[in-house]
Amino acid sequence: MRFKKIVLFSIIPTLVVVILLAVGFVAGHYMVTNPFNEQIDEWSRAYTLGGFLNEEQKKTLVQVYHDQDKALQEIDRFSWSVPNVPTPFVGNAPMPGRHGNAYVNSMQFRSKMEIPLPKPKDTFRIFLTGGSTAYSSGAPSEERTIAGYLLKYLSENLTPDTKLNYEVFTMANPSWSTTHERIVIENKLSELEPDLIISLSGNNDVHWGLLGRNVLWFRSLADDFFLNLIKEIYANAGQPEIPEVTRIENKRIAPTLVAQRLLKNVKLTSFALSLEGIDFIFFLQPNLPVTAKKLTDREKNASEPHSQGYFQDCYDLIDEILRNLDIDNFVYFNLTRIFDDLDNQQDIFTDLYHFGDRGNEIIARNIFLKIKELEFSIK
């Protein structure tokens, strides 16, 4: 009995040490990982449209959809700010996998389907690029994205006559500017046998100009997210603080400069594609700040009057320079007036820049009509 007591008392200190070590490990692990988890949790709330809305906001917002009852049931799955992964040369792009109701293939296109290479015979391949509008943030299904509707129009209206199989793949990412589009077009899309590349763009260049960013040398939202995580790692490791290498102006970028930088990207994109004989269409995307649509009460509440003048000035200059740009493989169209005939009983805008499937369909139809008018051929 005495021997057992001796053994027991000899074990107790060891157990105490082990328990203290375990508690210390758990506490240390929490202290190290908690800052990261907080940032990641906050960022991930925007992965789906319903993730950052309350129930009342959801009930109001579904008015932008064709099937409002179904949208209300499924809005928590509508892909919004798609998870990103660090990506060569563009900083970040959509992460492959399923995200809410969206699919991103292994090449980072929003698609369930992989891109067949070499391109099948009698196939007309279109790549759509841009920011969150081109990505179709908030779309209720893949078929009701802008690309989905465009494919439907092409297949139903042109295939019977052309006998061609049409493909439309979306390579777009929330907060991308025309700089990101230029790089991804030149470095990736041009290598995948496209017949036509479409940029649905312009809005984000103005948005970043409003925030004092130079779109030729700035970080996107995803870039900042990953950089902040890296900064946290450096701080925890006792390393020196990472210096800032971009410049944020304390005022809006002049509209003339916004337009000139966009023009530079468009010219460089057109030149890169001309080397491969690929056609390029730039569609100036519609948004709430410049629309002449009769607004619903909800759309009025979503508007920001302080930014309307700036957006209009920038858009006027962009429209002027692109209308007068004469490049053989380049075509420009302004889509900002496509909602003008709608009355104040039809909700189109989700917020300043985005749409439900009703808006996606109208945008896609107008893009289709321009493609039909131009009669492109297979490359």
* Three-state secondary structure readout of 180-229: HHHHHHHHCHHHCCCCEEEEEECHHHHHHHHCCCCCCCCCCHHHHHHHHH
- Rounded Cα distance between 269 and 178, Å, is 9
- DSSP conformation class of 95: P
User: What pLDDT shows up at residue 160?
Assistant: 96
Confidence of residue 147 (pLDDT cuts 50, 70, 90): very high
Among candidate residues 206, 12, 200, the one with its CA nearest the CA of residue 110: 200
Token reading at 36: 């990261």
| pLDDT confidence tier of residue 312, bands split at 50, 70 and 90 | very high
Using CB atoms within 10 Å of the CB of residue 244, give its burial: 0 to 12 exposed, 13 to 18 middle, 19+ buried: exposed
Query: Is the model's pLDDT at 371 over the cut of 60?
Result: yes
Q: Are 80 and 49 spatial neighbours (Cβ–Cβ below 8 Å)? A: yes
Structure confidence by residue, pLDDT tens digits, 195-216 = 999 999 999 999 999 999 999 9
Per-position DSSP letters for 69-88, written without gaps between them: HHHHHHGGGSB-S--EEEET
Q: Please report which confidence band the pLDDT of residue 368 belongs to, taking 50, 70 and 90 as the band edges.
A: very high
Q: Evaluate if residue 92 carries a pLDDT over 90.
A: yes
Band of pLDDT at residue 375, cut at 50, 70 and 90: confident
Distance CA 305, CA 311 (A): 10
CA atoms within a 13 Å half-sphere pointing along the CA-CB vector of 154: 23
- Whether residue 286 has pLDDT greater than 70: yes
Mean pLDDT computed over 258-264: 98
Return the minimum-mean-pLDDT range out of 8-12, 82-86, 206-210, 257-261. Answer: 8-12
- CA dist., res. 150 & res. 128, Å (int): 10
Per-residue b or e along 7-28, where b marks 16 or more CB atoms closer than 10 Å to that residue's CB: eeeeeeeeeeeeeeeeeeeeee
pLDDT for res 30: 53
CA–CA dist 62, 269 (Å, integer): 37
pLDDT at residue 251 tops 70: yes
Q: What's the pLDDT at 272? A: 98
How many of the other CB atoms lie within 10 Å of CB of 207? 23
- Collapsing DSSP states into helix, strand and coil, what is residue 148? helix
- What was the pLDDT predicted at 27? 53
Cα 44 to chain centroid, rounded: 15
27, amino acid identity: A
| Pairing of the two strands 279-284 and 196-201 | parallel
> Given a cut of 90, is residue 219 above it in pLDDT?
yes
Average confidence (pLDDT) over 215-232: 96
Residues whose CB is less than 8 angstroms from the CB of residue 288 and which lie 6 or more positions away in sequence, other chains included: 299, 302, 303, 349, 351, 352, 353
pLDDT (tens digit, 9 = 90+) per residue, 185-198? 999 999 999 999 99
Distance CA 237, CA 232 (A): 9
Q: What angle do CA 185, 131, 321 make, to 5 degrees?
A: 70
CATH code given to domain 48-374: 3.40.50.1110
CA torsion sign for 211, 212, 214, 219 is negative
Measured distance CA(267)–CA(48) in Å, rounded: 35
pLDDT of 265 above 90: yes
If one compares 160 and 17, the residue with the highest pLDDT of the two is 160
Percent of all residues in the chain with a pLDDT value above 90, rounded to a whole number: 86
State the pLDDT at residue 181: 98
Strand duo 165-172 + 123-130: pairing: parallel
Supply the pLDDT for residue 33. 63
Reply yes or no on whether the pLDDT at 264 is more than 70: yes
| Average confidence (pLDDT) over 345-370 | 98
pLDDT band with cut points at 50, 70 and 90 for residue 365 = very high
Of the candidates 260, 243, 272, 270, the residue with the CA atom closest to the CA atom of residue 331: 270
Report whether the peptide linkage leading into residue 118 is cis, meaning its omega lies within 30 degrees of zero.
yes
Per-residue model confidence (pLDDT) at position 41: 86
Task: Convert the pLDDT of each residue in 23-57 to its tens digit.
Answer: 555 555 555 566 677 888 888 999 999 999 999 99
Task: Write out pLDDT tens, residues 96-118.
Answer: 999 999 999 999 999 999 999 99
